[in-house]
Structure 1
């Protein structure tokens, strides 16, 4: 009898089957047939001359090495693998900081394949059978599994399940041999792929393994110096180094510098703690970037440890990307709630609600951002507006002669669309884009906003997929596959944080940023899901920004934060302030947006905005 783990299902769905009952087309999984008696892991026999001779072991970009299934790397990918291998022979850590969107060859992601090929090189050339650790976002777990299975013959264990008890079962069958000691010296796998949360949650067992290589995808997650993920990775680094004398530490990040240079130092300190030991000294020299000499000095110091290429460097034929900011008006309903929140008008906000269900005013800026998206994001407002609108429409006779279904249609159209300026714009823009044959990504930071947009899609009969933190790993990959392959796919709704990293959606050629992030790099990451190598169409980015509001002030400030990254990692420039606003500055931002609205009692602008067709709006309200 064989214990069979079925493709796409967790260990709780395993079944015992006879060999005759198992057909090659009926199952697929990592180590689906759990057997014993496999050979013991062999250690590395790397010679002392490797450092002097490593150039002879690298690859010629004009004659790429053939991998499994006949796969071959592009020339710039070969150069990436060569650089990664050279850092191994030099015994130093590294950051692969290729720009987001250096991404697609056939069905394979560019940066991912470079890491897979690097590990395959160590396995094949240096005879290092592992163990290798790869820590990735949840949304990319299945993608990494495919890469290893498609390009190598290394045994790969994808170690992830929401419940600890099933991870225990997974270890039982995919980590250990039946007739050998259950220790790090006798592991079945060469590569362990896991997620940030699983690494932290099961660190008591993962942390016992002395990994030869430690890779972290989307490594800007390590930038918090007091974060648990960084603490765990440092312990893994120490254990691997003590056991093997050297551990190859590889960080992958298209945005190694997001807010300030202390974040960049945190990554450098992790890969090379002896070369970048002191944050205060680092900031003393580079913390206040005011001259070209400082920038060039920093670039010279970090260049041996960081490889960064941009899309234009490696793919001259990549389609153009055009970003359009659309100024959206608040509806009269939104203005009422915006003013009430800013003025802390509890009488208005509590009307028809208990204190428990009324909008909360603990975080004014978040409540204002909700209003700018849709008033129904506020606690208790959806129920309150339903009752008010139903009563108003009943008195005005709009339901006269209408069936219950027709009345519900009128209510849905008003509540879902007409109460939000952004939804009014979306309701005009999406039909136009669908007629033109586009596939669209819509990003929002708020999961509840994605709920509202999803309800709207069902109301308008728009086919759509969805990916946010509540969608399981296997379901995420299925949604991505459907969107990329099915002709009738139209919309993909994604949360900026969960869906903005590490996934490939080049089937889309339009990206709508429904609400902007304080950190502009998160929005850049989101755009790179479709504007990347492999894209064959010009890409349009539509960013919705509410006019004369706190959201507009926030967007203008966040835009300035890109300057420092462009100076250090790209072209030279100056940036004066890259931090979040101080409390005093935040108060000024809030007031500036609020006073602009308080002074505007003219609803004619709103009426005109709602009445204009999409071509008129795009002509008059874009920048």
Structure 2
């Protein structure tokens, strides 16, 4: 056999076929009942060969009708590596072992299950025997599965990326887990200032037995000992940065990061400080864990499971921003990822109708548009000015809005309008109050005090008749629930589809009882039409884990947008 003298195992087995090369083994992860993973060894060059649940102990192996010569040195090395991590062939893999296997560079490991890219990766299996969540509310079955996995990972000292699609109740799954570990020490929730009131409200509602501390403002405690007196401390990213000396003086049971894309840049002080926190488990909560690049996911995963990832430079070299790389990263982070989409699990949500509303751009706006095009400014500055012009309160868009509002109010529906610019928001507020006197009309944008935002939403929700809420999608497009509204109007498109989808999900989420209508306004033959046309392609990339959806367009896209003009079309009409 290739110059190696091997004694035939027995003359009584004349029917054996002789393998002409040594048995070179690779590892394969299989998935059994409830998608539970286990490990087997198979020949590297013959996946249909023997499926071993024990490594050979000698220099020969007979399987079925084939006699194999065993590379003893390889099997001993493999056995030593697996034993060091308490991994046995044929036995159920812990999440920790599964994760370790997937990130090993010196082991050939194949996962028999095809995991989609990160943005569609599903949670693995159902956890039997999970303690009943101690919350004042009912979890949906998929939320119970998510809670079970969060708790199981906690017991193994591993973090989790909770990346369920917007509207599926990520906050409630985290609260159930916080309640389950209350006896193991204090936990910390870090969130944007805009979602802090919602976290405190949900904690009081669903887990009143937990003692909670709101740590922010000039009167916050300066003693680390005070933080340890509470079951849950809730703070903002900004306050954490200022008080990092206090927070790192406590060993936290759970550190949960809401809108975890806030730490996508690993070089920022915000990202580095949260990763310094002593913790049993880090939970990253984000419906959009990858916004611009796969490196976003590296930074989040470094918080969740730092012991498994390669160094940043090695990660960048190994996983460029391409679809195949997104799928490979999705496969490798599957053990610590929970990701379900609305289509997969929320079959009880009402019908949703999305309508694109093209509007003819004519008259003064068309000529203002052409004037901006020829002003000679930089491409990005020109596009920004064109967007502002298209977002102004011109009669064409106001007429379209009026028809939608009249229909909504005839059904006694409530309406939320998303607009990107301050001047537009103020104009819409004035217009609504003048044309619909006596009804509730309010706004939330960057100028709204974060403490007042939930109060405004509560008033909007409790108002007995139809109402209007005008919102900036960046200030109020994440972390808040507005199921009282079932009509959503996007006054202008956004370059990043995640911003639009997150904004729409404020109304189309668990708890919505009415059919939801989402309208997208855009002017034809303008930058707005170009942005709308690009949305579907960007969503396809997003499904592969690559949003390719930065907040600003690339040079080639700028040139394409600047080649469009409504003037010729307007003159012909």
Closer, same or farther: CA 504–64 of 1 in aligned 2, 3 Å: farther
Are the counterparts in 1 of residues 354 and 517 from structure 2 also a CA contact under 8 Å? Answer: yes
Matching of residues 452-463 of structure 1 within 5 Å: 452-460=427-435, 461=437, 462-463=439-440
- For 1:361 and 1:300, the matched residues in 2 are separated by 39
Tell me the CA shift for residue 253 of structure 1: 0.6
Tell me the CA shift for residue 60 of structure 1: 7.7
- For 2:421 and 2:203, the matched residues in 1 are separated by 33
SS of 2:563's partner is: helix
Q: Among 529, 543, 564, which residue is 2:541 paired with?
A: 564
1:525 aligns with 502
Q: Among 134, 141, 147, which residue is 2:196 paired with?
A: 141
- For 1:230 and 1:531, the matched residues in 2 are separated by 31
- For 1:583 and 1:297, the matched residues in 2 are separated by 26
Q: Among 475, 480, 494, which residue is 2:452 paired with?
A: 475
Q: How many residues align?
A: 449
Closer, same or farther: CA 454–296 of 1 in aligned 2, 3 Å: closer
- For 2:557 and 2:307, the matched residues in 1 are separated by 39
1:218 aligns with 2:195: no
Closer, same or farther: CA 76–442 of 1 in aligned 2, 3 Å: same
- For 1:326 and 1:431, the matched residues in 2 are separated by 16
TM-score, length of structure 2 as denominator length: 0.72
- For 1:590 and 1:463, the matched residues in 2 are separated by 38
SS of 1:470's partner is: coil
Are the counterparts in 2 of residues 444 and 495 from structure 1 also a CA contact under 8 Å? Answer: yes
Q: Among 393, 410, 418, which residue is 1:435 paired with?
A: 410
Q: 5+ unaligned residues in a row in structure 1: which ranges?
A: 1-50, 103-109, 162-166, 173-181, 241-245, 347-359, 375-416, 569-574, 605-623
Q: Deviations over 1:400-459 (max 9, x none)?
A: xxxxxxxxxxxxxxxxx5x34322321332222212322111111212211110011111
SS of 1:80's partner is: helix
TM-score, length of structure 1 as denominator length: 0.66
SS of 2:566's partner is: helix
Are the counterparts in 1 of residues 241 and 273 from structure 2 also a CA contact under 8 Å? Answer: yes
- For 1:424 and 1:345, the matched residues in 2 are separated by 32
Tell me the CA shift for residue 331 of structure 1: 4.1
Matching of residues 56-135 of structure 1 within 5 Å: 65=132, 67=134, 70-102=136-168, 110-123=169-182, 127-130=183-186, 132-135=187-190
Are the counterparts in 2 of residues 260 and 579 from structure 1 also a CA contact under 8 Å? Answer: no
1:600 aligns with 569
2:401 aligns with 426
Q: 5+ unaligned residues in a row in structure 2: which ranges?
A: 1-92, 97-125
1:495 aligns with 2:561: no
SS of 2:213's partner is: strand
Tell me the CA shift for residue 224 of structure 1: 2.2
Q: Deviations over 1:581-621 (max 9, x none)?
A: 7764144124222xx324334274xxxxxxxxxxxxxxxxx
SS of 1:326's partner is: strand
Closer, same or farther: CA 63–483 of 1 in aligned 2, 3 Å: farther
Matching of residues 156-555 of structure 1 within 5 Å: 156-161=212-217, 167=218, 169-171=219-221, 182-184=223-225, 187-236=228-277, 240=278, 247-289=280-322, 291=324, 296-344=327-375, 363-374=381-392, 419-460=394-435, 461=437, 462-555=439-532
Tell me the CA shift for residue 555 of structure 1: 2.9
Are the counterparts in 2 of residues 255 and 521 from structure 1 also a CA contact under 8 Å? Answer: yes
SS of 1:600's partner is: helix
Q: Among 210, 227, 248, which residue is 1:154 paired with?
A: 210
SS of 1:325's partner is: strand
Closer, same or farther: CA 206–62 of 1 in aligned 2, 3 Å: closer
Q: Deviations over 1:315-371 (max 9, x none)?
A: 32211222111111224221232122111189xxxxxxxxxxxxx998221111000
Q: Deviations over 1:250-300 (max 9, x none)?
A: 000111122332222221122222322333433444425355xx5654332
Tell me the CA shift for residue 190 of structure 1: 2.4
